[in-house]
Amino acid sequence: MIKKKNALTLFSLVALALVGCGSGSDDPVNEQPDTTNPLLSCPETINILVDTGLSGAEVTYVAPLGTDNSPSPVTTQTAGLPSGQLFPIGTTTNSFLVTDSSGNTNTCSFDVIVSIPSENEPYKLAGGVETPSGKKWSKVEDLSDEFNGSSFDDTKWHRDPASDGFGWYGRPPALFESKNVSVSNGNLNVTVEKLASSKTVSGNNYTHGGSIIRSKTTAKPGMYYEARMQANKTVMSSTFWIAYKQNCFSGPERKLELDIQECVGRFSGTADWAVDYANAFASNTWRHSRPCDVSVSEQRPGKTVLTEKNNSRFFVYACWWKSPTEMLFYLDGEYTHSITPSTNFDLEGHITMAIETYDWNPIDAANIIETGSVDDRSTKYDWIRTWELKDE
């Protein structure tokens, strides 16, 4: 009996051993090789517009990271520039490779395109002003100027208030003087000053100097107006607007004003409504009081407060005078605010740049009009461009 028990036990052990050897899942000889490629997905094309004169743009993006059915696939960048680097003008192709532990790979690529806005369409058109179906924007040359060269274009602009037909010589204490206007370094420059001696003009006393520039060709509804401007650093203004002539006898009876941008370089006053005028895109429409029209002026302001000072850099301020009842405003090519005026803006006007003084922002003891550099005392216009819609 003892011998039979030993024989049975030996048989059972051999059988168990054979069963263990036949398990295919743990047998490296029968294991299937990994031939599945890892997954890798890149971002869409990134388009960046930069101002003229810049060499490129710092671009950040989420770098792709590969995934796989095996642990810890490795993703590397094989071409292009890492996120956060300065990407040059042009197209940079960024390529990535992912490799898994079995040597399987996958790749993807995407482009970063850095370009300068075209002079042949509104600034950053794709991100800003729309183009109605079947239309295109066409530049109005008589209401546009790149301010290249070294001479002021007297065929397009008035700079002498005695000849522009408005008869306005400045709000005291600042007198509009044409000698303060110049063209250099690709800009229209208006430099403010303290007069060597006070002047009396039309019964008003002036101690400081600014200037006013007006278009000779009239601006009309439907057009898109933009200026690339850097404000001066003084208490005096930097502006871009449309002025309208008025006459109670010969008409028009309404005295209108469309302010696209009106700011100051430094705020020195106490008016609560103006505390951010040194760092704001401030627009307005006015119907001024006149004996033959309304007795109280009507205004409809619109404003976007900025995180930067208007004198810190060039900004592109723009307005689409879309219709007599709709004004759309754009900053650096992006829509910011709208105004519905109190009356129809159906009159023709004149593009105006006035550098002047205000009683709500007085010249104080801390002003730099006498001590500041010419650069700090100058409002600079890189260009002014006007566009109209035409059939494609």
Residues with active-site annotation: 257, 262
8 Å CB contact between 224 and 255? no
CB 384 within 8 A of CB 145: yes
Rounded Cα distance between 349 and 352, Å, is 9
Q: In the structure encoding, which two tokens stand for residue 257, read together?
A: 């004003």
Give me the amino acid identity at 387. W
Q: Report residue 84 as tokens.
A: 């956060």
DSSP alpha helices (H): ranges in the chain?
Answer: 2-21
Q: Is 347 exposed, middle or buried (0-12, 13-18, 19+ CB in 10 A)?
A: buried
Name which of 333, 73, 385 is nearest 223 in CA terms: 385
3-state SS string over 118-177? CCCCCCCHHHCCCCCCCEEEEECHHHCECCCCCCCCCCCEECCCCCCCCCCCCCCCEEEC
